[in-house]
Structure 1
Amino acid sequence: MNILITGGAGFLGRGLATALLQRGQLGGRNIERIMLADLVAPQDTALVDDERISVSTGDLQAHVPVLMAAGPWDAVFHLASAVSGECETNFDLGLHANLDSTRALLDACRLQTAEGHAPPLFFFSSSVAVYGSDAAIPLPAVVRDDTLPTPQSSYGIHKFVCEQLVADYTRKGFIDGRAARLMTVSVRPGRPNGAASGFLSGLFREPMAGQRSNCPVSLDTEVAIASPATTIAGILVVAEATREAFGGRTAINLPALTVSVRDMLHAFEALVGAEPLTLVTCEPDDGIARIVAAWPSRFESQRAPALGLTPDPDFGGVLQQYVQHHGEAVTHPGARARLGLV
């Protein structure tokens, strides 16, 4: 099996590639090679040194012909995207990176199928940003599988439009499409990005590294999150589900842990002690708060549990997962002592 991962240098792309290499198969078929496509090459030596890994760099839309010439691809995981904050501040960038690139990739897969290859599995990473509260259709307190998406940001609009494109290309038999709405992933490793939800990782990642971080929203704000491991596991389950088990062509909501920012900080203090918490400030940012407040925080789903998917049980476990996998990034002396890393 040949697999293409766009956004392959991002932390989810790298994590997905690592999980696939460890499994050695997808859908019962042995994995022969994985191409990671992104603007830059991943820096993980252990990953890129695997003989099954190849790397291609460049703007996705312009680079699609090169990527497809390296195929044919049996599976495409489309994770590349301009994030929420970027899309609000740079409208054209969002259209190019999210809509135009996705359309180009879908059409390339369509051409591959027209040339006689089996329709490729096409996984699209959508987002709960497709939901919002519209004046005519207020967002319910609990989002269910049949809740109508009414995005209130450019990023959310892009994701919802792409969901519909994936559904229609699947209906036409060009691809075997699966779209899954990812929750906010926390705790993300690495550097901050332009996502409005980025503070939900930075509030913990930066203080553990001895750096200051700011909370731009009310501490009572509830959010729907998932750890990196839970998110990657959900992506793989959705990708391997039969069409009957997946249930139609509508995007599926992955499981969510609902927690307030205040309770997240309490779990953080319980794990690393009070000293790192002093590095957290609470200066409101109305722009970020408005975007985050439009996202749903509570979900009730039948489809995800039917596939065996469950949310993270608590945020303390999410923090422990970060420490387990990225202990080298914990440099705050007090945190390291509390965690037994010294």
Structure 2
Amino acid sequence: MTDYPNSIRLSVAPMMDWTDSHCRVFHRILAPQARLYTEMVHARAVIQGDRPRLLGFDASEHPVALQLGGSDPAHLAEACRIAEGFGYDEINLNVGCPSDRVQAGRFGACLMKEPALVAECVAAMRGATRLPVTVKCRLGVDEHEDYGYFRAFIDAVAAAGCREFIVHARKAWLNGLSPKENREIPPLRYDWAYRLKAERPDLRIVLNGGLTETAQCDEALRHVDGVMIGRAAYHEPYRLHQMQCALFGTPEADRESLLRRMEPYVRAQLQRGVALKHISKCLLGLYHGQPGGRLFRQVLSQEAPLPGADWSVIEKALAATRIGGDRM
């Protein structure tokens, strides 16, 4: 087990269809001390589905947390028991996703309207596992848009034993805004997270939402225990590496040397029958904004899906970056 409290200074958000195991292996190379999160998995899927496919991960990913969705305390508890057996470092409950599908299933951000139920879920989860149980939430939903309501929600869940909250510092509109709009339109209110930490110093508070620059993270860490970055880590993965180096005082490595550290993993996955296209999608943004970056992305996008694609495709993409510009 990783030293849990000391591994939350920097983390990468759970992102559906993005933060799969291949992506997390790459992110671990980029940020050896960051905490990584799985895509959200519904508790019923954990209980009834293909567990090795849903829960399996590479040992290099530690510290890694499983994010669960659901609102049935018994199901969540059983999912926690199963997940502990797979070796996760943390179980996180999603109380922040605003998608229609999530709302229809009565989980995600809509649960912010039911703090007593969230507390019941957390209590059941904690009773089923020795792992830390954390909650990722918003500032509020719909008409619930005041600091007092937000703090009361936190207090109710903390009373059930949750000691860490990842706060996406926006409210969510459950009707009228798409998930993308819910990430962009509601205003960011970092001050609410900062105030919560000041008023509840015994809780661990991680700030999420709109964090894309190291300077932002440095400022946030003056007020809270950790920062969580999301799409910036996926679209521009080298930025994650730069944050790791700045926040932990480690030396930067160049993009090519970082990518080459993926080679043993990629070759092993190919031997298992995994198609290169499933591994390479998280690599596409590595040379974002760099000479040859467009060609790098183009080679991977066009050739990784071809039958028999192997590590030589990545070598070809790397060669494109040495041309010195985006020439066709």
TM over 0.5: no
**TM-score, normalised by the number of residues in structure 1:** 0.37
Q: Which has the higher strand share?
A: 1
